[in-house]
Amino acid sequence: MREYLKSALANVDREAWQRFFMAVAGLGLAFAAAVFSSVARERGNTLATAIFALSALFLSLVVGLLTVPFLARRVAAHRMKDAFHYELTREGMAYIGVSLVISVAALNTANNLLFIVLAAMLAAIVVSGVASAAVLRRLELDVVVPRNAFATKPVQVRVNLTNPRLWMPAFSVKVFSPVEKNKKLRGWEWTKTEFAFPKRRSWLRLPDYTLRRKSPPAWQAKILTRAVYFTFVAPRSTVGTELELAFPRRGHYEQDGFSLATRFPFSFLIKSRKVTLERDLLVYPALLEPDDFLDVLPMITGEFVSFVRGRGTELYRIREHTPQDTGRFIDWKATAKTGSLKVREFTREDERRLRLVFDNPEPGRVTPVAYEHAVSMAASLACHFNSENIDLSFAGSCYDGGLHLADFLRYLATVQPDSRDPLFLDALPVSQDYNVILTARKPGSLPSALWHSSYVIYM
C-alpha cells in the first residue's frame, strides 16, 4: 500500500492541481457574488446588484481564460490516448426500449415505484459505463509477429495482454483490428466532366458535373485478421495466446494500431479503446502445389543437367563408346553385359551454376491471375534450387538485390508490373550460368545469346 501511495504521489502533476483548486476557488467566489447579486436585487439596491453581477461574470471569465485552456492542454494527449468508442448492442437497445416504456408509464401514472425502478435502470447504465471504462484503462498490448511469411501458409502470431494495475482485474477483453469508418468513402459524389454538343462533333463544350457512386475503398492489408478474446486478466500479470494466421496474398502488411473492447458488465454497450502499436510483416509469394510445380521442374532439371554434363563425380549416363573417348571412362561391367564398349559420362559439379531470371512485364501485358502464377513459380523454383547443390543467382527487371534467396523473395513479395525497363533481357549479361527465364514475351523474341543455355517459362 505504501508503494502504491508513493508511486501515486510521484505521478501527481502539482501545477495542474494548483490550477484546478484556483479554478474551484474562483468559481466559488463567482457563485457567492451571484447570490449576493440576487439578494441585492430583492432589496432594491440596483448599484450593488450590478456590482455583484459584474463581479460574478468577471471571475467566471478569468477562470475560463486562465485555467480551462491550461488543464485542457495537460490532459489532451492523455484523453486522446484513452479515448473510448461506443457501439450499442441489441441487448442495450432492448434495455433502452424497456426504460422508455417505464418512463412513459411513470409520467402518466405518477407512481413513485415506477420512478424508483426507472432510476435504478438508468443507474445500471451509468455503472456499466464506469465499470467498462475502468476495465480497459491502462491495459497494455503487445503483438509479436514474424519478420516474414509465405502467402496462404499459416504462421504463428502471439498476442500478449498486460494488466499493470495493483488490485483491479480485467474481464472479458477482446483484441481486434479497428475498422476505419470514413463517411467520405461511401455514397455518391460529384465529379467534373465536360458537356459536348453534339457528341460526335463537339461543336459546343462546357464544363459540367455528374453524380457518380464512389468507388469502394482499396483493400487494406491487416495483420490481425481474427479477434482474440481474453476472459480474465489478473492484476500485475500478463496473459498471452498463440494465433495461427494465413495471409491470402503477398505484399507488405502493416498496422499502426489495435483495439481493445469489452462488454463488461451488462453488455449494454461495446466500449473500445485504440492502442497505438506499429507492426509490419512481409509476406512472400505463395509456393505452388506439387501438381502445378512438378510438371515444369523435371524438364528444367533434365535440360540443366544436360547442359552441365562433363567430368565430375556424379554419374550422368552410360552411352556407347566413340573414337574421341579415352579408355579411362569405359564401364567394363556394362561392356561385359552388352558385348559392346560402354562409356560413363559424369556431371560437372564444380560448374553447376543456375540463374533465375524474372522478366517483369509492363502493365496490361498479362492478366493478374497469370502474373501472380508467374511470381509464385519464380518463388517456388528459387526455394527448390536453393536446397540443391547448385550455385544459384538471381536477376530481374528493376531488381537491385543481392545473390541471397531472401533478397529475391523480398523483391517478389512487392513486385508489380512495370514498364521502366522494357529492354531488360536484351541487356542481360551473358554468363556461363544456365538460365531459367520467366517472361511474357512472345516465343522467338528472346535474344539469341540466351537460347542455347536457357529454359523459358511463358507467363
95 and 139 part of one domain? yes
Last residue of a domain, one of 36, 57, 81: 81
318 and 453 part of one domain? no
User: Of the segments 10-14, 149-153, 452-456, which one has the largest average pLDDT value?
Assistant: 149-153
148 and 19 part of one domain? no
Its domain, for residue 343, covers 309-351
Last residue of a domain, one of 48, 64, 81: 81
- Cα–Cα dist 100/106, whole Å: 10
Report the number of distinct structural domains present in the chain: 5
Tens-digit pLDDT profile for residues 275-319: 888 999 999 999 888 776 666 765 666 555 555 554 445 566 677
| pLDDT for position 350 | 46
162 and 187 part of one domain? no
154 and 125 part of one domain? yes
410 and 449 part of one domain? yes
Which cell is 105 given?
Answer: 408509464
1 domain-assigned: no
| pLDDT for position 77 | 47
Q: With 0.75 as the threshold, say if the pTM is over it.
A: no
303 and 389 part of one domain? yes
Residue 328 pLDDT greater than 70, yes or no: no
Q: Which residue has the higher pLDDT, 81 or 294?
A: 294
- Cα–Cα dist 315/16, whole Å: 85
| pLDDT for position 450 | 67
Residue 80 pLDDT greater than 60, yes or no: no
| pLDDT for position 3 | 59
Cα end-to-end span (Å), the chain? 70
* Residue position matching grid coordinates 457501439: 87
276 domain-assigned: yes
256 domain-assigned: yes
7 domain-assigned: no
142 and 238 part of one domain? yes
157 domain-assigned: yes
| pLDDT for position 141 | 93
Q: Using H for helix, E for strand and C for coil, what is the string for 345-404?
A: EEECHHHCEEEEEECCCCCCCCCHHHHHHHHHHHHHHHHHHHCCCCEEEEEECCCCCCCC
Task: Estimate the share of the chain in helix, then strand, then coil, as percent rounded to the nearest 5.
Answer: 40, 30, 30
133 and 226 part of one domain? yes
4 domain-assigned: no
| pLDDT for position 314 | 58
